[in-house]
Structure 1
């Protein structure tokens, strides 16, 4: 189903003094371009994007801001203050990324604050996609002098509600979307992850040590992704929330990714307790790569989605996602770009 709207897509461009560029659109607050240099100083876009018309068609949340609730809510419902709230079920019986009309599918108001910073705002009315309360959301994107993309999230609601916000860019540090991301070397600062039944966490916190989900020593994505592991088979690859080794009050290192070919190196820092590592399992060749003859195949990009845990409204042992009336929600994630010299030199 396509989106029916009279609003128009608008584009905003940010650029820092080092030449990094970020493009975004008001529809879904989607990042459409991040141009960063390789080890030879050649700039290239490292996030998957679409032709403008394709953003308005169903797609796997490419580049989008996600809310009100990132990831899944089992059976598309939860209890809050002894009241049951039924939310949109857009993934079978479950709610994924806020539902079919989530923050990825609305028009945000964009205010460009400077050449390097933009503010996006959206007011989500009470019971939009079934979620309680009138929620006011602000998100800023900023390119820093240190070649970071700094994302600050803020929200406030007039009723008690649940909230979980993230950014759903798909990275491919080769800047060549015809190449898969399986040779990227990934580190994840986590000693445990959340195993799933179908797509919903079972509630178990499973240690990663020595297994396919152990990224405490950097390894290529392809190293274990095809192992005979029931969790990898269930998800068709990695699509799991990792429990980060950090203090949520601090901005801490969550993960890194390195493309040995280009030398591009990505570091992720966050105040969030978890990060969904997703390896583009649902990309199926149906989406066209802009200005190219090819299409996005499975493993064309990966996501580092910093967030609270999936299905937390139904799992009281998980960190709370409840936002009290009048309380301010805030969260910060930083994506830092740099390069490494060739290791064989």
Structure 2
């Protein structure tokens, strides 16, 4: 069999009703010795093991050994499924169809990644068909301040060609913004290798503009060209050569506007390579943007223990495919409102490659 999928337990947690719930873990393995794990709590990708050019297998996904780490307040969405709305909404305020809503604020005065209890902090229902895992979650009307009941389903599948396919779908009973994503942190040298190896990564992004942000990471509404700036990653750059040149910030935490054709088709988003190991990751998606984040706000000291040592600042990178941040408050940005009778559909492919040379 080219790809296998097995289920086991990752731990137990108490739900909102005080009942003990089993957290399931699903593990794919393919003929190339690529292995990926997802759990039903928060839809977290907890492990991505990839051989290097010499056949040495490393886990390239930053995270924790057990469920306690993912329940900890120190967890920074390491591998989480994010919703209802990824990224920031200014002041937690939005107006939908003429009705004003106040959302939970959990990032200073702003709303981030779905709120205080977003989709990353719930137990998802699971179903397996063949080697595809389906996770589903029903969010109630006004949960975290959002209107409408939402039924979200995310499918995960590893192929024999080392593609990891994530497919998001959602329906709603009231008009509401929806913007799901995955928040994995990657270090292609190995998740415990830290900033020294991260700086050696070679990054390219298929984006000719970014969403300009203020000091709080909130879009101003301007979409400046990346030409002649540190954000021009259309030509591959060594991350260590550019990460410290980002103006007013300790690294990248910006939405890049993907150069694409039809939103119905997957477009090339990014390519990241680590020459020392030969590991390469490419990203493809039908979404108009991607948040490139370089772990700027992780601790600098030995404060956060991960599965392979301490997790620190600039220890990993994220590529979160998405609608533009705060789209609900910018009419010129791609529409993020889902209406009853419509289906939200977001596809992302993470392609893992091992270059022998």
- Alignment match of 1:36 (pick from 33, 38, 50): 50
By how many angstroms is 1:4 displaced? 6.1
2:237 matches 1:219 = yes
Structure 1 residue 33, shift from structure 2 partner? 0.6
Alignment counterpart, residue 287 of structure 1, candidates 285, 304, 317: 304
Higher mean Cα deviation, 175-184 or 322-331? 175-184
2:168 partner SS:
strand
Residues 4 and 91 (structure 1), Cα distance of their counterparts in 2 relative to 1, 3 Å cut: farther
**Normalised by the size of structure 1, how large is the TM-score?**
0.93
1:194 match: 211
More deviation, 157-166/280-289: 280-289
Asked if the contact 1:151–1:334 (Cα under 8 Å) also holds between the matched residues in 2, the reply is: yes
3-state SS of paired residue (1:75): helix
Q: Note if contact 2:149-2:173 (Cα within 8 Å) is conserved in structure 1.
A: yes
CA distance in 1, matches of 2:29, 2:354: 19
Q: TM-score, normalised by structure 2?
A: 0.90
Q: How many residues matched?
A: 333
Give the whole-Å Cα distance in 2 for the aligned partners of 1:282 and 1:50.
18
1:76 is matched with: 92
Specify the SS of the correspondent of 1:7: strand
Which residue in the other structure is 1:169 paired with? 184
What residue is the counterpart of 1:103 in the other structure? 119
Superposed CA deviations along residues 167-200 of structure 1, whole A, max 9, x for unmatched, are: 0000010015133211100000001111210210
Query: Which residues in structure 2 correspond to 1:36-55 (within 5 Å)?
Result: 36-52=50-66, 53-55=68-70
Residue 118 of structure 1 is matched in structure 2 by 133
2:91 is paired with a residue whose SS is helix
Give runs of aligned pairs for residues 223-262 of structure 1, distance below 5 A: 223-227=241-245, 229-230=246-247, 233-234=248-249, 236-247=250-261, 248-262=263-277
The alignment partner of 2:194 has SS state of coil
Q: Which residue of 1 is the match for residue 223 of structure 2? A: 205
Q: Distance in 2 between matches of 1:92 and 1:289?
A: 26
Find out whether 1:12 has 2:26 as its counterpart: yes
Q: Within 1, Cα distance between the matches of 2:324 and 2:239?
A: 22
Runs (5+) with no aligned partner, structure 2: 1-12
8 Å contact kept, 1:189–1:255: yes
Q: Deviations over 1:115-159 (max 9, x none)?
A: x32110000110110111000000001001211000000000111
Unpaired segments of 5 or more residues in structure 1? Answer: none
C-alpha separation in 2, matches of 1:76 and 1:289: 31
**Aligned 8 A contact 2:61 2:191 in 1:** no
Q: In the TM superposition, what are the counterparts of 1:261-280 in structure 2 within 5 Å?
A: 261-280=276-295
CA distance, structure 1, for counterparts of residue 211 and residue 192 of structure 2: 30
- CA distance in 2 between partners of 1:42 and 1:82 (Å): 56
Query: 1:204 and 1:163 mapped to 2: Cα distance?
Result: 22
Contact 1:35 1:45 in 2 (8 A): yes
Name the stretch that deviates more: 310-319 or 333-342: 333-342
Question: Displacement of 1:113 after TM fit?
Answer: 2.0
RMSD between aligned residues = 1.3
Structure 2 contact 200–238 (Cα < 8 Å) conserved: yes
CA contact (8 A) 2:62 2:191 kept: no
